Amino acid sequence: MFFSSSSSFFFSGFRCCSLQRLGTRLSSRGVTTSAEKDILHGITGSANPGEVLALMGPSGSGKTTLLSLLGGRTHGGILQGSVTYNNEPYTKTLKSRIGFVTQDDVLFAHLTVRETLTYAALLRLPKTKTKQQKEQRAMDVIYELGLERCQDTMVGGSYVRGVSGGERKRVCIGNEIIINPSLLFLDEPTSGLDSTTALRIVQVLHDIAETGKTVITTIHQPSSRLFHKFDKLVLLGKGSLLYFGKASEAMTYFSSIGCSPLIAMNPAEFLLDLANGNINDVSVPSELEDRVQIEKSGGGDTRNEKPTPKDVHEYLVEAYETRVADKEKKKLLMPIPISEDLKAMVTLPKRDWGASWWQQYSILFWRGLKERRHDYLSWMRVTQVLATAIILGLLWWHSDSTTPKGLQDQAGLLFFVSVFWVSFRFLQQSYISSRASDAQQGTGG
């Protein structure tokens, strides 16, 4: 696939990033057996500056694997094909020009939104920028993502009340766009969000793309409004490419090969049904029906035979390969004019590092201190430590160390102290993890 992005705020950008005939195979080895599985099969496509490209498909179709390949985050497996940026292969220097938002929200629960983005700016922005410039960049991102109302609210987590799910996802996006990347990858950014919040997230991605960047995101089952927000669509099924092109033309393409909904349906729902091989409420192409009848003609009456999901998948893959794939490949193989300056940004041997080692140590120390202050200074922890100290002090007080029995008592006390402080942390965590459940049951009487 070809993916490209224009210049960014801090770095020169990408003109073209390409992926051609990409396939990947993963190996799994057990004690007595080993197995290999093909994850992707010959994926080819492109994305340009200012576009939002959606990778869509059912669970297990290879969306996240493809996204990881494009973002240079694959580990292990056998990769076939090529992924290039500005007609150049991926290098480690590109890391500072690529943003990758994972599906899970990896944030510190006790830091505020502003603190989270400020620390990200201090760590990741080039050391040529002053501290004031980095802090201002964090504030710019806060206003860009519409987080100014909750900038002083803690992010929150499983046991800490904080911002909403949509705001938390925007903070994750802010952590990546803080460096103004040329390419932004997101793994299911709308998972677990209601349709209105999900629409706002996608609108944020559109605003980012309009600044000349390329945004590529996986999406599971978007609403109809969300689907029409995407510029391009990649539809995957069992690791194979079923469609690549403009999202607005997807329904027209599948209608042209005989697959169209018999009832009013959300386009995304219709496409996912096809990718799963589910043809309920979908017109069956006569070509596919004839093929099924020929293949099963030896079994007697075939009038009521329906195509299996495997038959549907093979038909869709073949239809794309024969009707669309060759045309798209010819477009992608046409040389794209790229200046030497843009090529140099990909092959640049030196990376513009952010903070120095000492600055990183200092920033991480203060960030960790702020994150843990709520645990260390909580009333429960202080009370437990003081109570334990008083009890142990009373037990030690006036103990006789001149007799064997007194020495034995002191040794037992020291053993108890050692065991207590080792197990104290685990017991406290066990209580915290069950606190939410206990509170819910308590409110129910």
Note the pLDDT of residue 334.
56
**Tens digits of per-residue pLDDT, 386-412?**
888 888 788 777 777 777 887 888 888
Are residues 234 and 54 in contact, defined by beta-carbon separation less than 8 angstroms?
A: yes
pLDDT band at 4 (very low <50, low <70, confident <90, very high): very low
Q: Which of 62, 49, 51 is nearest to 23 (CA)?
A: 62
Note the pLDDT of residue 26.
52
pLDDT band at 300 (very low <50, low <70, confident <90, very high): low
Q: Specify the long-range contacts of residues 119-124, CB closer than 8 Å, at least 24 apart.
A: 119/363, 119/367, 120/174, 120/175, 120/178, 121/178, 122/354, 122/355, 122/359, 122/363, 123/354, 123/355, 123/360, 123/363, 123/364, 124/96, 124/178, 124/179, 124/354
Note the pLDDT of residue 85.
75
Note the pLDDT of residue 301.
53
What helix, strand, coil percent values describe the chain, rounded to 5?
50, 15, 35
Note the pLDDT of residue 11.
27
**What stretch of H or E contains 335?**
none
Note the pLDDT of residue 391.
82
Asked whether the predicted pLDDT for residue 96 surpasses 60, the reply is yes
pLDDT band at 174 (very low <50, low <70, confident <90, very high): very high
**The token pair that represents 236 in the structure block:** 């995957």
Note the pLDDT of residue 231.
93
Asked whether the predicted pLDDT for residue 227 surpasses 80, the reply is yes
Please state the pTM of the whole predicted model. Answer: 0.78
149 or 445, greater pLDDT: 149
Asked whether the predicted pLDDT for residue 425 surpasses 80, the reply is no
Note the pLDDT of residue 25.
53
pLDDT band at 351 (very low <50, low <70, confident <90, very high): low
Asked whether the predicted pLDDT for residue 250 surpasses 50, the reply is yes
Identity of the highest mean pLDDT range in 36-50, 295-309, 335-349:
36-50
Q: What percent of the chain lies above the pLDDT cut of 70?
A: 76
Specify the 3-state DSSP secondary structure of 22.
strand
pLDDT band at 30 (very low <50, low <70, confident <90, very high): very low
| Structural domains of the chain, ranges and CATH numbers in brackets | 48-71+93-347 (3.40.50.300), 379-443 (no CATH)
